[in-house]
Structure 1
């Protein structure tokens, strides 16, 4: 079954300096195209591709190992994907592109607590966005100037360090990375044999993961597990404007070697 992973075209780098690879984890085609253009115009950055779903995002990072990923806050509003990516790829820089509805101290702190290195408004000026990606990589922490006052006020109110304000905890993900991938595919309607083929696992291993998922989510069956996962925010519904199949390519189309 195809998944929403697409490899970008390689472009010219910047002579005499390291070229940083950038990928987008975003379900909105028009925004991905815009981000591609921003990255392509920013010296020292090179676009390597995008993923439009949470499962495809994990596949992309495992196969392409980008230096920087720009994550749409709408694709991962609970921070579960960010936590899994942060734990699985500690050297990768994660920058969250905040939708207007998510611009707030509590949400920003939760994303940083989950493992994000930077936060930038989704509607930021293109030049500023490109520079933000570079700065986040160099400093391993970046907050857009327009967002800094929110965290400053929170620090003054809570006495915290602004990275994870009082009462904001690292999002709890009850599932392992592999269980999360299996659950994503269960939600897409795949049976155990198809999941095994997609993830290069044995059918028995998939059955074991499904049993573990049901136990951890206290679910009666697969349908109940998927329902509870969506209600709790572990899974996020596909955004409007991103119909199944849009821009999809099979994982094999994403090369294991990135120049």
Structure 2
């Protein structure tokens, strides 16, 4: 599996008889942080490790193929809450725990995350005991807000919905808008990684013709001239987010990010 590290751990002998262990996965761009979450899960009674992912596409593959009970999601990897919406739509039973970085610690972001389907909102700097408790509370109650963030969950003032605006003569969706379907979004992610239609078809188990149809739809919806232009527009409008780890990313991503920040 591309970018996915799934793993299933048998229920510990020390767990309550008849109790069901919860499979927990993490979506985060930082390897050492993913390893820390895995260590917390392994030593916590009633939890087992279901895998990790470092990108939106890998996260969707992980949830489709491994189907964890809980996903812990980094807010910086999902600043517009697109991934939370897609994961929630793909599996309504999935419990989403969003770890909020300081840069996303705003009333607007928390409201967007809850609206996108997040069941728990927790500071990224939380200790392992509180994170384990948040996972349990989110699964049992379907809603948990860490006390450190509760003051930010009041309903924000309603603002007019932004409209799509032209950029360089082409229509660009407003920041945070998601005009694409779940499958189109997966295809666009892989286009941004530099894959051709045949490679995308193999990864998504689709025909090349189906991928070609999705690409045409993406170009139409984003008013893009070609694939590279579509990726550029996606980064500009917040549909795609730049990679957050130390690697520069594939050439198509580098070029699109460069264009999108000019």
Instruction: Specify the TM-score bucket, using the shorter chain as the normaliser.
Output: 0.7 to 0.9
Runs in 1 of length 4+ with deviation above 4 angstroms? 242-245
Determine if contact 2:96/2:120 at 8 Å carries over to the other structure. Answer: yes
- Give, in whole Å, the separation in 2 of the partners of 1:190 and 1:19: 38
Alignment-derived partner of residue 248 in structure 1: none
The alignment status of 1:29 with 2:31, answered yes or no, reads yes
- Give, in whole Å, the separation in 1 of the partners of 2:129 and 2:247: 26
Counterparts in 2 of 1:92-241, with a 5 A limit? Answer: 92-151=94-153, 154-155=154-155, 166-167=158-159, 172-241=177-246
Alignment-derived partner of residue 5 in structure 1: 4
Deviation string 1:17-66 (CA, Å, 9 cap, x unpaired) is 11100000111011101111111122111111101111000000000110
Q: Structure 2, unaligned stretches of length 5 or more?
A: 162-175, 251-262
TM-score scaled by length of structure 2: 0.84
Residues 199 and 52 (structure 1 numbering): CA distance in 2 closer, same or farther, change over 3 Å? same
Q: Structure 1, unaligned stretches of length 5 or more?
A: 159-164, 246-259
Question: Secondary structure in 2 aligned to 1:86?
Answer: helix
| CA apart distance, 1:12 | 3.6
Question: Secondary structure in 1 aligned to 2:76?
Answer: coil
Determine if contact 1:29/1:242 at 8 Å carries over to the other structure. Answer: no
Alignment-derived partner of residue 51 in structure 2: 49
TM-score scaled by length of structure 1: 0.85
Question: Secondary structure in 2 aligned to 1:49?
Answer: strand
